Amino acid sequence: MRRSKNPARSMVLALAICGATTTAALANDTTAELKTGGLAYVQTSDIAMEEEDLFLSRQEVRVDYLFRNLGQADIESVVAFPMPDIVGGSESDMAYGDAESDNFLGFSVVQDGKAITPQLQQRVTALGIDHTQALKEAGVPLLPYSEKTAAALQKLSPETKADWAAKGLLRIDGYAGGNDNPEVTPVWTLTSAYWWKTKFPAGKPVKVAHRYSPSVGGTVAMSFIQDGKPAYSYEDYARRYCIDADFMKTAAKLETAAAKSTGPHYTEQWLSYILTTGGNWAGPIKRFRLTIDKGNAKDFVSFCGKGVKKVGPTTFVMEAQDFTPEREMDVLFLVAGE
């Protein structure tokens, strides 16, 4: 288990309770400044995130914030919400939402009861180098899993395909599509962030709410346990999800029951939510509330938390005062098959 420098503000209690939820990594709001080349996230000592209410489920993610300008004058600032990176060529069992839409997770933002249309910044990188402009000039969409992207890549000249493959943007499969027109697969990374300018009036609260549909990641089996014993990935899982001895015993029973066909087959699903960008605001978060809705009583969950309470048949809540996010929220779910 990874220890925080300040245990009173960290989430260190492992749970082994029924639950099921999954998303790819998303992030807290953060202040940002526009620089050449894109958004740069900055810290502010003038605006406090007084409240954060985070709800996670397989169907929906909801985040509600209360900000307050601590200064004597109004402040106009850029607020940014980083989206999860999409890595082309991934063979993991990961759903990325609407592969044909720039807003692939259906992200929306409301401030003080009014809907806001944020701007979207997207960057394509490969081997640590930005190739966004090259794709735009070639008329290739940036979304790696889009059918329009696949069609545009196939139309590129053989010379361009070879050049992009050498730069780490593409993988060329000479056995698929034939030697005259081999199949190409995008392997670049797409980084996206929504941002908008807003005003924080001096001394007044500002409410911001986000909604989006989560993407789902997972495996076809439990990978951290094999034959009732810790598998190769156990140490990483123990650190990331705080799985403990009781959770391992439960997983072993589930594994045995599935092998004997006396119980359902369990698979893994994961949720990773980036909390630490919330530390870019002034001071600790005065009130933090996390709600996880498992959705299915047959499923199990493990994550690092402190003072988590079961408040309903499928929901669990963690609340904290003067909360400083020092690690991300990673959640492991064991999901029962039909």
Higher pLDDT, 143 or 176: 143
What's the rounded Cα separation, in Å, for the pair 199 and 79? 10
Q: Is the pLDDT of residue 163 over 90?
A: yes
Q: Tell me if 207 sits within 8 A of 66, measured CB to CB.
A: yes
Q: Is the pLDDT of residue 139 over 50?
A: yes
Residue 189: partners with Cβ closer than 8 Å, 6 or more residues away = 85, 86, 87, 88, 124, 125, 126
Mean of pLDDT values over 153-157: 93
What's the rounded Cα separation, in Å, for the pair 259 and 251? 12
Q: Is the pLDDT of residue 21 over 60?
A: no
Mean of pLDDT values over 81-110: 78
Q: Is the pLDDT of residue 58 over 80?
A: no
Burial environment of residue 151 by CB neighbours within 10 A (0 to 12, 13 to 18, 19 or more): exposed
Q: Tell me if 294 sits within 8 A of 267, measured CB to CB.
A: no
Q: State residue 95's pLDDT score.
A: 62
Chain mean pLDDT for the chain: 84
Mean of pLDDT values over 273-289: 89
Q: How confident is the model at residue 180 (pLDDT cuts 50, 70, 90)?
A: low
Mean of pLDDT values over 202-213: 92
Q: What is the 3-state secondary structure (H, E, C) of 148-199?
A: HHHHHHHCCCHHHHHHHHHCCCEEEECCCCCCCCCEEEECCEEEEEEEEEEE
Type of residue found at 127? L
Mean of pLDDT values over 42-69: 90
Report the sign of the C-alpha dihedral through residues 220, 16, 58, 192, in that order: negative
Q: State residue 112's pLDDT score.
A: 96
Q: How confident is the model at residue 329 (pLDDT cuts 50, 70, 90)?
A: confident
The predicted-structure confidence for 282-316, as pLDDT tens digits, reads as follows 889 999 999 988 889 999 888 888 999 999 888 88
What's the rounded Cα separation, in Å, for the pair 207 and 1? 35
What's the rounded Cα separation, in Å, for the pair 59 and 64? 17
